[in-house]
Amino acid sequence: MLALIYLILAVCLGDHLCRRFYRFVYVPHRWAAAFLVGLLLSSWFTYLAAWAFSATNQPLVGADILFFAVAVPALFVLERKSRQTANREPVWIARRAPGSERWDWVTLAIYGVFACWMMFSTLNFKSPYLQIANNEFSDFGPNTAIARSFSVGHNFPTQYPHFSGEPIRYHFLFYFQAGNLEFLGLNLAWSLNILSVLSLLSMLALVMALGQLLFQSRTVGRLGSALFFFHGTLNVIPFLQSQHSLSGALQSIWKLRDFLPSGYPYRGETWGIWSQVVFLNQRHLASGIGLLLIVLIFLLDQYYERLAPRQAAPVPSANDPATELPIAEPIAPPIEVSEAPRRTVRDFLMANGSFIFSGFLLGALPFWNAFVFTSAIAVLLVLFLLFPARLSMLLMAVTAGVVALPQVYYLRSGGANSTTPRLLHWGYVIDNPTIANVIHYLGWTFGAKWVLIALALVLVSWFHRRLFIAICSLFLLTFFFQFSIEALANHKFLTLWLIIANLFVAYALWSLWRTRLRGFKILARLAAVALATPIVVGGAIDFFPIHNSYYVELNYTKDPLVDWLRVNTNPHDVFLTDRFVNHQILLAGRRVFYGWPSFAWSSGYDTTKRDMVYKDLFENRDPRHVFSLLHDNKIAYVAFDNGVRHGEFIRRPNEQLYAKNFPKVFEDRENKYASLIIYKIPDKAPAQFRFVQETGGLSAFVGGKGIGNGEFDFPRGLALDRAGNILVADTNNARLQKFSPTGAFINIIGTMGSGPGDFNAPDGIAVDGSGNIYVADPGNQRVQKLAPNGGFLTEWQGPPPGFYGPRDIAIGPANSIYVVDQGRGRIVRLNADGGVMATWGSTGNGDGQFHEPTGVAVDAENGRVYVADPRNQRIEVFDLDGKFLAKWKVNEWRPNAWIFQHLIVDPKQKRLYASSLATDEVLVFDLEGTKIGSLKPRPPQKLEGASAMALRDGKLYVLCSFANQVRLIEVGKTP
């Protein structure tokens, strides 16, 4: 209840301020501005107050009390003053579109329903779980951690929860407010979703207002805002071309889980960057754009008044006729008049209060959304050059600069990345940046919208063209500057450009539909439909991945670990842990020394340096050095889990050092948190440190993590040669290791590199009837053929367009080779000389399609090929040439589990074995797809990250990637 009262007070204060400084296009414009301005200013006030109360245990208590203590009297005074000055009602812009607001409200109501669906489909709360959609999980890792660092933590002065020890470099204020609303009574999902829904709805209302102001048409405003949901990229064309039939296309769309790739291989272009996922991941983006639109509408109102002064008009009633201007006629430009000179500086400041207030709003943006602030600088600079009121705009710029510079300095004061990006960077977001490639990229990305924009620019006045030139300054930011080492960030400039450019697209469509040119009406309408269709279809398809996403659940309201952390640790405490995206430690409001590195890397922190310190803390065997390093970095707790013990980054974890020297304060005996153990780091060094004596063995069945002979680092490939020797693809060590049938180490084959016989993350292994060894080499995008002694024979790049992530290999009749080309979603059959015999499959979930297949097994006796398709939770069956025969559902292959599942077939016993990580077992099927049992090693052994398998003489060899060893299961003649 307090959270809702807080928001109502913020909106009411925002309304009073906006009425003082702005005029409005229509009623939704007023309330959208009130919400966004009230949200921004209340967040700033509460954050600064909380920082002032940082010496207390709960800074938000004092901050919120102060907000209520100031907001309620201020609202009372402002309301009383407005009554006394007869200025209670808002002032409406004279240049207003004719017609009723009825359909504007209906449109916004539809947007509201749609926004609620979008936000709650990707973030929800179902007690006691926080549910995050799989498409958004990675982005919500840092965002929810920031919010919780305020709501239940003590993040003052503010640090990035995934990278403790340095000032924050990420615009965080929106998530601070979400945390504050959670502190006031809402759960985390509702606090974020309420802010997100209202922000998106406000932004769309302001787009409608801008369209009405520019083009004097409510229809254009509504249509331009609706186009926000349809980006218009031409990626729908190759998608539809890849479908074999209309019914197949509809089925693929209905089951689609991935956003349509743009057609460009650049980073981020396959993640839905041109879909609404951007606004679902970056919840603060819509509110930042909305604040810029408030200022832009104000400036346009000022320009119209200064170019052609008019009297303000009353708000039209619902009974006003809904007449509209002629469609195909250009809008006449206003007549310019000179500005009246100001007498004194005080008179000038008083007369330009709205410009000063607008500058204050823009200056408050860096902590809210730095990219919108940068966009505002570019757009307003061009407006300054092309429009009047330059002195007033200069005053606005000075105000914005004074307010923004301390924030910019603070955000840049964190440790710089070791490779600080250069500011000027031609063609930053694309490869091989030439003028032709940039034009091609923009043409492909916005497709048919360019034709409509060109038509609009022909029809409109020079006034409108100047505005379009101003927003095109965002192209310069996109293609000439590098503000972050994350290329994905520059796409936001194009996203903002498109939101405003959509109004020109809408005006062109409206003009075509309503044209009065004789003999061209039907043709014009057909053209409007033809141009709008690919825009709408492509955008509509990209909503299905949102609909089909699944939740990743995190227990955070009644979670034993969260409760233990909040009771037994200090809100300031820093944890050394696995590099989490999200975890109960972060949901408890605590900070981690080093979380998932992409967030810190993209924010500009020196992740290279932190990598070294992090590895030293988890691998160094000297307890005195480790303790000193822990204290230097103010780490209070060290948490070991299976991610640290068996992950890819830490090669030789030193858990025994912590166990011998520091007290254990929490142990996950029930394995709810990946066998988590937490050690407390004392304030003073122990009286005597105890060292750990190293032990090990050179056996595949002993293994262990490391770089020595017989040690592995996340191995993922396994095969037996003709003599029964065991071959293991030691993936992260970029080599093969060979062991005797008893597991004794024999030798190493290959090393890291891209030359003949070198490897980069080797994976699947197979041995043919002649003893030749075939190795999937995904890091080098090739398959290598080696002699029985390991000597290099040849390599194959695969059929066009080449292998992209070859994952597994199996041998078929006549030494034919079956390769899982995971990145291309296909199976490739080669002959013994590398000639292509067959290729089948594509990305999808239909029959004969795959979603990142991981394993292949060949039954030459029965003419069957079995393919593991774990993301689609199934095994698909084909004949030897790729004809689809059947599919088997595998419920144990859970969508959010590790996906390196493997298959092996025993045609004599008519059995198919499938590894299953999530259930810690090997599944057993008959050859018709009926599950007939499961296998596990004898206790106390267990399968930890079961991946590749091999079978001989009634023995099943299972490679355990997490445990870095091979397990042996006796299967005999029956499972």
**C-alpha span between 3 and 178 (Å, rounded):** 10
CA–CA separation, 827 vs 810, rounded Å?
11
* Position with higher pLDDT, 86 vs 148: 148
242-254 pLDDT tens trace: 888 888 888 888 8
Least confident span in 83-97, 224-238, 648-662, 683-697: 83-97
DSSP state, residue 682: P
> Given a cut of 90, is residue 838 above it in pLDDT?
yes
- pLDDT mean across residues, the chain: 87
Band of residue 236 on the pLDDT scale cut at 50, 70, 90:
confident
Supply the pLDDT for residue 422: 67
pTM of the full structure: 0.76
**Nearest-10 Cα torsion for 236, 238, 244, 245:** 30
pLDDT over 60 (residue 48): yes
- On whether the CB atoms of residues 573 and 638 are closer than 8 A, the answer is no
The per-residue pLDDT for range 458-508, each reduced to its tens digit, is 999 888 999 999 999 999 988 888 777 666 778 889 999 999 999 999 999
Residue 312 CB-half CA count within 13 A: 14
pLDDT at 411: 86
Which two structure tokens, joined as six digits, stand for 736? 């093969």
Give me the mean pLDDT over the 103-124 stretch: 94
Assess contact for 903 and 875: CB atoms under 8 A.
yes
Q: Which of 573, 654, 662, 641 is nearest to 615 (CA)?
A: 654
pLDDT digits 0-9 by tens, 334-366: 434 344 444 555 555 556 889 999 999 999 999
Q: Residue 306 corresponds to which amino acid?
A: R
Q: What distance in Å separates the CA atoms of residue 947 and residue 297, rounded to the nearest whole number?
A: 59
Give me the residue label for tokens 């923009």: 442
Tens digits of residue pLDDT in 261-276:
776 655 456 566 777 7
Per-residue pLDDT band at 415 (split at 50, 70, 90): low
CA distance 843 to 841: 7
Predicted pLDDT of residue 91? 83
Q: What is the mean pLDDT of residues 852-861?
A: 94
Strand partners, 553: 131
- Range 621-632 average pLDDT: 93
Per-residue confidence band for 83, with pLDDT thresholds at 50, 70 and 90: confident
Angle (CA) 595-192-498 rounded to 5° is 90
Percent of the chain whose pLDDT exceeds 90: 59
**277 vs 279: CA distance, rounded Å:** 5
Bridge partners of 88, per DSSP, are none
Please compute the mean of the pLDDT values over residues 140-151 and round it to a whole number: 91
At 970, phi and psi to the nearest 5?
Answer: -80, 120
Mean pLDDT of 861-883: 94
What are the tens digits of pLDDT across the range 5-17?
999 999 999 999 9
User: Which pLDDT does position 870 carry in this prediction?
Assistant: 92
Lowest mean pLDDT among 133-147, 462-476, 652-666: 133-147
Q: Specify the pLDDT at position 919.
A: 82
pLDDT band with cut points at 50, 70 and 90 for residue 182: very high
Q: What average pLDDT does this structure show over 108-137?
A: 90
Q: Quick check: 596 and 580 in contact, CB under 8 A?
A: yes
What 3-state class would DSSP assign to 615?
helix
Tokens 């599942």 -> residue: 901
Integer CA distances (angstroms), 301 to 100, 373, 379, in order:
21, 21, 16
Residue 724's nearest CA partner among 776, 771, 775 is: 771
- Structure confidence at residue 795 (pLDDT): 96
72-79: long-range pairs with CB below 8 Å, 24+: 72/9, 74/13, 75/9, 75/12, 75/13, 75/16, 78/13, 78/16, 79/16
Tens of pLDDT, residue by residue over 760-819, are: 999 999 999 999 999 999 999 999 999 999 999 999 999 999 999 899 999 999 999 999
- Band of residue 877 on the pLDDT scale cut at 50, 70, 90: very high
Locus of tokens 């689809």: 884
Beta strands 591-592 and 574-576: pairing type?
A: parallel
HEC letters along 563-578: HHHHHHCCCCCEEECC
Q: Is the pLDDT of residue 240 over 50?
A: yes
Look at residue 633 in the predicted model and tell me its pLDDT. Answer: 95
